[in-house]
Amino acid sequence: MMQYQNGMIEGKYYFIIEMGKSQILRKEILCHLQKNRPGWMETHSVDVCDVILVFCPIVSRAGTDIDAALNELNTCPASKPAIFMVFHPTFDAEKIVLDSSRYIIRRNTLTVDCLFHEDKGLLKCKKNDEALTRVVHRFKPQEQKKFRRIIIITVFTVSFICVIYGLSQLRRN
């Protein structure tokens, strides 16, 4: 069940809207997300997702490409939070691009701009580092239920052994 509080998205399922050819970018973003927020999984149904990820590489004109991706996003329930990632093609890791969030006025939507090269994927630059950090921080970390369960079982077992040992010592005396 999705919850959206204090700007953080709780849940575990994301749905992807992918515009154009963004396979390399998709792989990089999802690897980064799994590394920093393990437990999130892709679903192929917007109805069961907790967040919508929009991958929007600019291939013609920024306004046209963003409008097309936004139209696709607007077919989804407005109650679903979204992360709208605009990928600007360039060779220059220091390129200054316009803030795409000016074009996107959908509620519960984080918009980030990234720089990429068509053959190399995301560029190594401050702008991308900041964008990826903002994306990761929007996802609430998953509780490590399995690890927590192991700790509880271990504590219970050790406590039980201590009680049995204590009782056996009382019987001896």
171 and 108 within one domain = no
Can you give the pTM of this predicted structure?
0.78
39 and 106 within one domain = yes
159 and 129 within one domain = no
CATH number at residue 132: 3.40.50
125 and 100 within one domain = yes
Q: Which residue has the higher pLDDT, 107 or 72?
A: 72
Residue 3's nearest CA partner among 79, 83, 78 is 79
Q: Do residues 73 and 82 touch, judged by C-beta distance below 8 A? A: yes
Count structural domains, the chain.
2
What is the C-alpha separation between 69 and 62, in angstroms, rounded? 11
- pLDDT digits 0-9 by tens, 135-150: 998 887 765 555 566 6
Strands 8-10 and 121-122: unpaired
109 and 171 within one domain = no
Structure tokens at 17: 């809207």
151 and 130 within one domain = no
- pLDDT digits 0-9 by tens, 93-133: 999 998 998 888 898 999 999 999 988 899 999 999 999 99
User: From the CA atom positions of the chain, what is the Rg in Å?
Assistant: 23
Range of the domain at 36: 3-142
